[in-house]
A and B are shown apart, each in its own frame.
Chain A
Amino acid sequence: MKWENWVGLLGLALISVGHYQGLFVAPPEAMMGDVGRILYAHVPTAWVALVVYLVAFVAAVGSLGSGKRGWDALVESAVEVGVVLNLLLLFQGAVWAKPTWGVFWTWDPRLTTTAIMAVSFIGVLVLRAMLNRPAQRAVASAVYTIFAFVSVPVVYFSVKWWKTLHQPFSSPETVDSPMVTPLRVAAFGMLFLATFLIARRWRLAYAKLSREDEAPDLPPAAAAIRLEGGGA
């Protein structure tokens, strides 16, 4: 079995334990009661989405620096997994907002910047789908990923920079001790699951890029026209 499948199984086990503890073992939150149990699903998704975008940023820098298809495949895989987690994060937050704030959505700085972050990285995927030439696509999407990554620290610090309905950034220091263990276990579970998903998606992307490198850049008729035209 491939290494990432073991990581995925470990992630599945950890997230199952973390969610079970969060749902049935941890005490109700002091103000939110049982609705506060959403913390154990929402916060690990948020943490890991930001980490996955950091992986995409590192891959983009690696792709620009080396031009190797492995880094380009990592850009594609990390951005896609990051967008999935980002959209899930927005949905979780909207459902949590209804019983606590009274609305599913409000143009709060944390929510708004998180939505902008999702749209920015969706743009990377759209750009990759639009460009056919592998080298051009690799450079363009790496540059765009680096620009899109600017939204990540903005999301992180939005609760410090602006007045917001959203609670401060959650960490083991900001939650009560009986809540720390399920939060940590669920977070590591989500991290391992995301690693599994990125690795599986990377293999798909790398195989596709390898096929493109082996195939001619243009159909034969178009290549002949280019040659007759002086190769311009």
Chain B
Amino acid sequence: MTGMIQGGWEYVWVVYGATWFTLAAYTVSLFVRERSNP
């Protein structure tokens, strides 16, 4: 026992996935809105 949390990579991947997804989705939403309002 070291006192260090073991494992937990699934939480890491969820956070990084959500970060990239949010940034990508918002960027796409801006391009879609630009196209619909030229």
Contact = CB atoms under 8 A, between A and B. Distances in A.
B5 A197 contact: no
Given A32-B4, A33-B6, A88 B14 contact: no
A31 interface: yes
A35 B5 contact: yes
A38 B5 CA distance: 13
Contacts of B9: 34
Nearest to A30: B4
Contacts, number: 75
A38 B12 contact: yes
Interface in A187-232: 193, 197, 200-201, 203-204, 207-208
B37 A207 contact: yes
B5 A204 contact: no
A16 B35 CA distance: 28
A200 B30 CA distance: 7
Given A28-B4, A31-B5, A88-B18, A204 B33 contact: yes
Interface of B: 3-9, 11-12, 14-16, 18-19, 22-23, 26-27, 30-31, 33-34, 37
Interface of A: 8, 19, 23, 28, 30-35, 37-38, 41-42, 45, 81, 84, 87-88, 91-92, 95-96, 98-100, 193, 197, 200-201, 203-204, 207-208
